[in-house]
Structure 1
Amino acid sequence: MRIAQVCPRYRPYIGGVETHVEELSKRLLRMGHEVTVLSTDPSGRLPKSEAIDGVNAVRFPAFAPGDAYYLSPGLHSYMKKAEFDVVHAHGYHAFPALSAAASKAPKFVFTPHYHGRGHTPLRNLLLKPYAYFGKRIFEMADRVICVSEFEKSLVCRDFKCDGKAVVIPNGVNKAEFKGLEPFPKGLKVILYVGRLEEYKGVQYAIRAMPFLPFYRLLVIGKGPYKEALVNEAVSYGVKDKVGFMADQSRADLLRWYATADVFVMLSTAEAYGITVAEALTAGVPCIVARGSALSEFVGDSCKGVDVPIAGERLAEYVQEAQFNGMPKNVLDWDEVASRVAKVYGE
């Protein structure tokens, strides 16, 4: 089959949707399908077309105020004329999925990665008028693939698509986590991996650092909230105990997972939580915020907490964290791709 994966951003950007599309595309290619990833490039600095691990990646100019929305007239025009057997769009909260819905492909699949709300007051305000257009994506979709039961409950509530919604969780490449060599360290390491947005909750981990004298916090990712987080570290007197890193290679990121003593993801809006699944696969105990799909990880190796949370209380949970085995709902990407390909064939 000729398959198009349509998403707001793709490598070298790092994030949950980007990882989902990359891992799925590589495996569909191995299955013998012709796979093209169509995304945007607001920076104008990335190649317009390149092969990444054999997958053809095509990028279109876009307008992305505040690193959001990714409005691309070029992508929209392309989708109207492109010929694919399957178009699989990713990400309700940006315009490329709406462009993908304009395709004439005989099969249109949609994975919304839906949070149910915007991540800033402005985005939350714009979510209501956008729902008029967003509803169209669900109406056009032959299947809606949700990455968690939590997400499915949201999309069925808001878009009445019970008859076409199925759950296929995100996955991890479990083979990557075998035999990892940790980085040298002195203090124990608290790790966060993901975009730097206020709703992700990194600020709560920073506020816990004054109560954790034998720990340091490593933040891997980039985003518009970085400056506020740096200021937070300064104001709490822990700037020397908080490290910010971006653009890590996959090999180094895996080693940081292996180095970590505790992983934190205190986000209030997640459709799944790939980095939590990866940390658990690396044998790292996790602390996550309740109230989104992250709650589905809570168990013997993953503590669920309510946010906002006081720094002293979070510090207690960090010190108590222990890994007591993998949860059963973490799949390998091979299994995920197999399930998705089955949906394409239905």
Structure 2
Amino acid sequence: MKILTVLTYYRPHTSGLTIYAERLARAFVQRGHQVTVMTTQYDASLPREEMMDGVRVIRVPVMFRLSKGVIAPTFGWVATRLVAEHDVVQMHLPQFDAPGVALRGRLFRKPAVLTYHCDLLLPPGLFNRFVNLVVKFQNNMAALFSNQIVTYTRDYADHSSFLSRYKFKLRTILPPVELPAIDKNAIQSFAKAQHVPDRKPVIGMAARFAAEKGVEILLDALPVILKKYPQAQVLFAGAYQNVMGEQAYFDRLMPRIREYESQGHWTFLGNLNPEQMAAFYPNLDALVVPSLNSTEAFGLVQIEAMMNGVLCVPSALPGVRMPVKMHGMGRVAKIGDAASLAESVLEILNEPQKFRGDMESIKKSYDPDTVAAEYEKLFEGLMKK
């Protein structure tokens, strides 16, 4: 099968969406398919075309950036050629160019499938309001032209103003999740570097330092947690300095965080590569995902943690609460409620045996090969129609 995957940003750009797309594309290749990724040359130093892990990557030149997107004038011309050459088209949303690609799928009688990752909510402002309206319009046009829409969970879809309109087109497929295998020495070295033996329990958070991630909810919960566990520490994995649009939020929270840093209760780890993340999770006693809005649709880091036997405390956001609800490895806290977060963290720290799950079953369900097989069935069914 010749599969065309279309998205705005691909590797080496790093986001949950690009990681999902890369894992799925590689899994398709390993299953014997020819995969082309059509994306943008968001960085002029990147090659226009290259092979990455057996995946053909074609990057369309960018004229200029617009908010979180880009304008690439030749995108439509390249899409026309590539859609004609492939058997099926898969697009990742949010994406400004998706309607045109989906329409080409219709015109060339090629099945067009959307994978909807999350809502796009830009900061307040007249221009961003306009961009939000344009993106919503583009998403709806893409949905109309597509044959099927993939979502991570029915829970998120039922509460999404966009997805709930297209229930007749929805298909639920869990996301691909994997971590590299590492040896015990790497895990122990990480523990030593972060003083894990002396500062326990360890509460992890893996996210960008952004308002919608609910960092202040964890900050507000810490005094209650520290009262019961005076040696507890937070390890924060992810970008935290110079995060676009988050400087005011960072400046507001940093005085409190610096105080915790000086006491050994908080450490910023920065962006970690996959091998470092694989060493990060086994050193945790709990992972928190206190996100606040629908820009978070699932929280893939929960699955990465659960694969390492780590219990999770997500907020009760639609979709985000589902890993714990499905696999039982943790407890769900109320959205934006520090007292509920503290209570939930303390419960899983006090009685971890109550929340143990089947790690091997979880690994199997989210294995990229398992996910690719589900997409295969979807594509084959659409091609027969």
TM range, smaller chain: 0.7 to 0.9
**1:187 and 2:199 matched:** yes
**1:138 and 2:143 matched:** yes
What is the deviation of 1:126?
3.9
Structure 2, unaligned stretches of length 5 or more?
none
1:318 is aligned to 345
Percent identity, aligned pairs only, is 24
Say if 1:76 and 1:21 are closer, same or farther in 2 by CA, change over 3 A. Answer: same
Say if 1:110 and 1:273 are closer, same or farther in 2 by CA, change over 3 A. Answer: same
What is the deviation of 1:249?
1.9
What is the deviation of 1:226?
5.5
Which of 113, 116, 127 is matched with 1:112 structurally? Answer: 116
What is the deviation of 1:244?
3.0
Which SS does the other structure have where 1:103 is aligned? helix
Say if 1:78 and 1:108 are closer, same or farther in 2 by CA, change over 3 A. Answer: same
What is the deviation of 1:79?
0.9
Matches of 2:236 and 2:245 in 1, distance apart? 12
Which of 84, 88, 107 is matched with 2:86 structurally? Answer: 84
Say if 1:226 and 1:50 are closer, same or farther in 2 by CA, change over 3 A. Answer: farther
Per-residue Cα deviation, 1:62-109 (whole angstroms, up to 9, x for no partner): 44455x234433333321232222110001x33143343243451211
CA contact (8 A) 1:5 1:88 kept: yes
Per-residue Cα deviation, 1:244-282 (whole angstroms, up to 9, x for no partner): 344422111111111122111112222222111111111
2:337 is aligned to 309
2:166 is aligned to 161
Which of 244, 253, 257 is matched with 1:232 structurally? Answer: 253
CA contact (8 A) 1:98 1:137 kept: yes
CA contact (8 A) 2:334 2:340 kept: no
Which SS does the other structure have where 1:192 is aligned? strand
Matches of 1:177 and 1:164 in 2, distance apart? 40
**1:15 and 2:39 matched:** no
Matches of 2:238 and 2:380 in 1, distance apart? 36
CA contact (8 A) 1:147 1:272 kept: yes
What is the deviation of 1:225?
5.5
Matches of 1:197 and 1:319 in 2, distance apart? 25
Letter paired with 1:187: R
Letter paired with 2:150: I
CA contact (8 A) 1:170 1:272 kept: no
Say if 1:246 and 1:59 are closer, same or farther in 2 by CA, change over 3 A. Answer: farther
Q: Normalised by the size of structure 2, how large is the TM-score?
A: 0.78
Letter paired with 1:97: A
Letter paired with 2:336: P
Letter paired with 1:325: G
329-338 or 222-231: bigger deviation: 222-231
Matches of 1:47 and 1:195 in 2, distance apart? 28
What is the deviation of 1:163?
2.6
Corresponding residue pairs, total: 342
Q: Which has the higher helix share?
A: 2
Q: Higher Cα Rg: structure 1 or 2?
A: 2
Which of 233, 255, 259 is matched with 1:216 structurally? Answer: 233
CA contact (8 A) 1:118 1:125 kept: no
